Structure formats: C-alpha cells, structure tokens
C-alpha cells in the first residue's frame, strides 16, 4: 500500500487537516454506533420502538426530531 505524501512540513494531508481543526478549537470524536446491516438490527429497533409507543419519551423525541428538521427556523 502506498504511503501518504508528505509535504515540506513533514505532515501528511490528514495530519495537517487534524492540526488545523484542533487549532480552530475542534476536537476529533469517534463513536461506535449500531450496524444497521446486522441481521438482528431491525428486530432490536422494533423492540425498542414498541417500548416507547405512547410514552412521554416518544412525544419528546418526536418533538425534538421535528424541531431539528425545521432547523434553522424560518
């Protein structure tokens, strides 16, 4: 596998990008999320959805999603 090109400063394109982002006050964050391609994903999503049905948490989550979709406010 070819090695990433380095410039005069000795950094690769990705290292330079990460350095610029850090300088701007950004922090890299990596998350593990459920894999929707797993065979048990749909069943688990359905199970959790049924647990929320008609609960206050469901209405709160739906309100949050609706507000996010309408962002930015008109």
Question: Rounded to an integer, what distance in angstroms lies between the CA atom of residue 17 and that of residue 31?
Answer: 19
In Å, how far are 11, 29, 43 from 19, measured between CA atoms? 10, 14, 42
Span 14-73, pLDDT tens digits: 999 999 999 999 999 999 999 999 999 999 999 998 988 889 888 898 899 998 887 666
H-helix segments, 1-74: 13-23, 41-52, 56-69
Identify the pLDDT of residue 74. 65
Identify the pLDDT of residue 17. 94
Residue 6 C-beta-side C-alpha neighbours within 13 Å: 5
Q: Are 4 and 11 within 8 A, CB to CB? A: no
Identify the pLDDT of residue 8. 77
Map out the domains of the chain as residue ranges.
1-29, 31-74
């Amino acid at each position: 596998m070819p090695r990433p090109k380095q410039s005069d400063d000795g950094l690769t394109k990705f290292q330079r990008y990460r350095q610029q982002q850090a300088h701007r006050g950004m922090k890299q964050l990596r998350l593990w999320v459920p894999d929707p391609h797993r065979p048990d994903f749909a069943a688990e999503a359905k199970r959790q959805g049924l647990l929320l049905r008609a609960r206050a948490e469901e209405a709160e989550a739906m309100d949050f999603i609706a507000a996010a979709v309408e962002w930015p406010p008109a």
